[in-house]
Amino acid sequence: MKRVLLFLFLISCSSVFADDGSRLWLKYDLIKDEVYRKSLVKSYNQIVIQFESDKAKLAAKEIQIAFKGLTGKELQINLASKPELGGFNSIKKGILLTIGTDKSEKESEGFRIQSQKGSSLIIGKSEQGLIYGAFAFIRLIQMQGTLDFTINENPKIQVRMLNHWDNANGTVERGYAGSSIWKWFELPYRIDPRYIDYARANASIGINAASINNVNASSRFLTAEYLEKIKAVADVLRPYGIKVFISVNFRSPRTLGGLETSDPLDPGVRKWWKDKTDEIHQYIPDFGGYLVKANSEGEPGPQDYGRTHADGANMLADAMGDHEGIVIWRAFVYDADPDGDRFREAYDQFKPLDGTFDKKVIVQVKNGPIDFMPREPFHPMFGSFPETPLAMEFQITQEYLGHSTHLNYLAPMFKECLDSDTYAEGKGSTVAKVIDGSVHGYPITVMAGVANTGSDANWTGHPFGQANWYAFGRLAWDHTLSSEKIANEWVKQTLTNDSEASQKIVGLMMNSLPAYINYTYPLGLHHMMGEGHHYGPQPWLEKSGRPDWTSVYYHRAAKDGIGFDRNGGISNSLKLYAPEVIDSWGNPDKMDLNYLFWFHHLSWDYKLSTGKTVWDELMSRYYSGPEEVKEFQKTWDSLKSEIDIETYENVKGRLAIQYKESLWWRDACYLYFKQYSGMPLPNSLKEPERTLQDVIELEQIYHLR
């Protein structure tokens, strides 16, 4: 805690920052609007802490630093002279930090803020709620909101977690912003100041958990050497209310303990995990728990011994004993079956186990049934597991979404899934209400996001990648927030408070995902990216380590048409959903065309509800995508006077890359699919200057050594 307060003090002593994006959305620069700035200066003279505690001091210090940066005025932090102090009338020109007296809310992380000109009350429903309330108050000032307001907030999800796919050697799997932020070779003796920046940023948007290593886990993270390092990280994150989780390798009893087996029903194995869990708690008393990827993509698991996922998860839950930690067991599993449908693999493996998991276990399900595609139907497991708590797993890092070169605001993708109706308990049983426990009464609720943080100065590579981290946290806190509102918050805290400029940027962000889908995966196409690196198009991929790693497995393009028939043709996966969902997606003439080829194989000349044939609609979308990116470039160019030059030039360069690569996607997919359709482009569209062989060779460059 002393280390954290020292760091905040050093921030307050420095008034000059290079605007390299390192401050994320916590940019406490002087407010340009002089009228608003003067009103703040006039309204507040002090910060008053009603009770003395480390978290209250932390919250007060953050407000003090923010106020000094935003207004130029330093507020004094005082301890209330009277413990019973409360209400607007008891404090003049001050910000009072206090804890509510409602005993039923004492465990809540929520807060209330009541503000009138001249005084503001930030009332945490717990000490942690006080920190969240302080950041919410700062956010309102950053956005230059009214000083007369009342806010009452509680998080809708209990565990709001970042999943880091960081490795012990400093690399990050599917990371596009440099190396890992965790400097394992320096820990525990040197604490990088960015750990505190990371904690502050997460606390400011309500994230309260972090699994700090790759789900393709190394057993090394369970050694005493690494537990000491993880302890040092946990000590930095703890003051901000962030618990540490560890991803574990299921084979660890063999690789670390020297046992002959890792069978979850073996007494020796069970004892090994029990002892290891107790050992972890000696280093990290508030250890969050285990995250497990098992029997997936070559990772070991209980099925290696003829056991079930429930056997493995329950063994770890039993090892947790009386500790408060939980076990998060990932449902990302699929068999290499050329005649099967990967779409339904997780459902088929886990559905028979519903109700057999320990109360400390939650099963983590990706938002869609394949693998973080730019647009997927919601996973059929949501709404189908009344007896097993299901966690949501989103991907913030842009594995299939242009890595860090394409501007892609993902809140609309998150929202599209969360707002989808499962009809599990009738109309209104949205995915969001399933995972927050409203539908089935889950005792544990979790939303996880695969992190996009790295060692780059701006954390995320693409400056707009920060918005996806921000959006995930805000939606995990409150999934009812709109994508536009979240985008507006981020823009005004990070880029500009100018009304016209921020409106343009929000518009650009909201259009970015639809544009990307148009030039990559229109009409529900999926999984056609470059093999291994997952960058750029490779719709011609037909041979790989397993059939469901190819592109042709999914798009099924042939002379007779395109698309994966999951409505009873190739598979009957559509029937995993409720009847109402089947009705909405089962008829190609009436359904949302964005999901068309997820469920239907249609002839190239099939007439769609748009009035166009499948071929013409597909090509119209492929060709519209690059044109939309050109408009993004024009919009960004018009903002040069409103954006700091470093950020402006960074995004300008990346948009140029994005435009070039949108043409690559367009040309590759048109030239490849043309072989099967035999149909010309619609009259208004021009033929590419390159050939199919040209774009194939371009993709092959990525595999050169």
User: Residues 150-167: what's their mean pLDDT?
Assistant: 97
Give yes or no for residue 354 having a pLDDT over 90: yes
The pTM score is 0.96
Q: Contact 178/454 with Cβ under 8 angstroms?
A: yes
pLDDT tens digit sequence for 188-214: 999 999 999 999 999 999 999 999 999
User: Residues 377-406: what's their mean pLDDT?
Assistant: 98
Place 279 in a pLDDT band, splitting at 50, 70 and 90. very high
Q: Contact 41/71 with Cβ under 8 angstroms?
A: yes
Q: Contact 361/313 with Cβ under 8 angstroms?
A: yes
- Given this model, what pLDDT does residue 105 score? 61
Q: Contact 420/431 with Cβ under 8 angstroms?
A: yes
Choice among 197, 263, 311, 399 that is catalytic: 399
User: Residues 251-276: what's their mean pLDDT?
Assistant: 98
| Cα separation, 522 vs 527, whole angstroms | 12
User: Residues 14-22: what's their mean pLDDT?
Assistant: 67
Instruction: Determine whether 91 is exposed, middle or buried from the number of CB atoms within 10 Å of its CB (0-12, 13-18, 19+).
Output: buried
Give yes or no for residue 37 having a pLDDT over 70: yes
Q: Which of 26-30, 50-54, 207-211 has the lowest average pLDDT?
A: 50-54
- Given this model, what pLDDT does residue 426 score? 97
Place 699 in a pLDDT band, splitting at 50, 70 and 90. confident
Place 101 in a pLDDT band, splitting at 50, 70 and 90. confident
- Given this model, what pLDDT does residue 372 score? 97
Give yes or no for residue 87 having a pLDDT over 80: no
pLDDT tens digit sequence for 562-609: 999 999 999 999 999 999 999 999 999 999 999 999 999 999 999 999
517-563+602-703: what fold? Answer: Alpha-d-glucuronidase, C-terminal Domain (3.90.1330)
Choice among 74, 260, 286, 297 that is catalytic: 297
User: Residues 114-139: what's their mean pLDDT?
Assistant: 94
Choice among 29, 371, 419, 531 that is catalytic: 371
- Given this model, what pLDDT does residue 340 score? 84
**Residue 353 backbone class (left: φ over 0; alpha: ψ -120 to 50; beta: rest):** alpha
Check residues 18 and 647 and name the one with the higher pLDDT.
647
* 371 has catalytic annotation: yes
Q: Identify the CATH homologous superfamily for domain 159-480.
A: Glycosidases (3.20.20.80)
Q: In what order do the strands lie in the sheet with 94-99?
A: 76-79, 46-49, 94-99, 119-124, 111-116, 149-153
Amino acid sitting at position 103:
K
Give yes or no for residue 89 having a pLDDT over 70: no
Give yes or no for residue 163 having a pLDDT over 90: yes
| DSSP codes of every residue in 313-326 | HHHHHHHHTTSS-E
- Given this model, what pLDDT does residue 78 score? 93
* 275 has catalytic annotation: no
- Given this model, what pLDDT does residue 117 score? 75
| DSSP codes of every residue in 113-166 | EEEETTEEEEEESSHHHHHHHHHHHHHHHHTT--SSEEEEE--SSSEEEEE--B
Phi–psi pair at 578, nearest 5 degrees = -65, 155
Question: What is the token pair recorded at 81?
Answer: 């002279």
Give yes or no for residue 187 having a pLDDT over 90: yes
Q: Contact 516/497 with Cβ under 8 angstroms?
A: no
Question: For the chain, what are the domain ranges?
Answer: 2-152, 159-480, 517-563+602-703
* 52 has catalytic annotation: no
Give yes or no for residue 151 having a pLDDT over 90: yes
2-152: what fold? Answer: Chitobiase; domain 2 (3.30.379)
pLDDT tens digit sequence for 172-183: 999 999 999 999
Mean pLDDT of the chain: 95
User: Residues 245-251: what's their mean pLDDT?
Assistant: 98
pLDDT tens digit sequence for 294-303: 999 999 999 9
Start-end of H helices in 238-294: 252-255, 267-283
CA dihedral 433, 434, 438, 439 (to 10 degrees): 120
* Residue 583 CB-half CA count within 13 A: 6
- Given this model, what pLDDT does residue 335 score? 83
pLDDT tens digit sequence for 623-634: 999 999 999 999
Q: Contact 353/309 with Cβ under 8 angstroms?
A: yes
- Given this model, what pLDDT does residue 16 score? 42
| Cα separation, 233 vs 244, whole angstroms | 8
Question: What is the token pair recorded at 213?
Answer: 């290593």
| Cα separation, 498 vs 639, whole angstroms | 10
Check residues 522 and 7 and name the one with the higher pLDDT.
522
Question: What is the token pair recorded at 393?
Answer: 């797993």
pLDDT tens digit sequence for 537-567: 999 999 999 999 999 999 999 999 999 999 9
Place 52 in a pLDDT band, splitting at 50, 70 and 90. confident
- Given this model, what pLDDT does residue 582 score? 98
- Given this model, what pLDDT does residue 30 score? 97
| Cα separation, 96 vs 122, whole angstroms | 6
Give yes or no for residue 13 having a pLDDT over 90: no
Place 336 in a pLDDT band, splitting at 50, 70 and 90. confident
Q: Contact 597/525 with Cβ under 8 angstroms?
A: yes
Choose among 158, 333, 159, 360: nearest CA to 245: 159
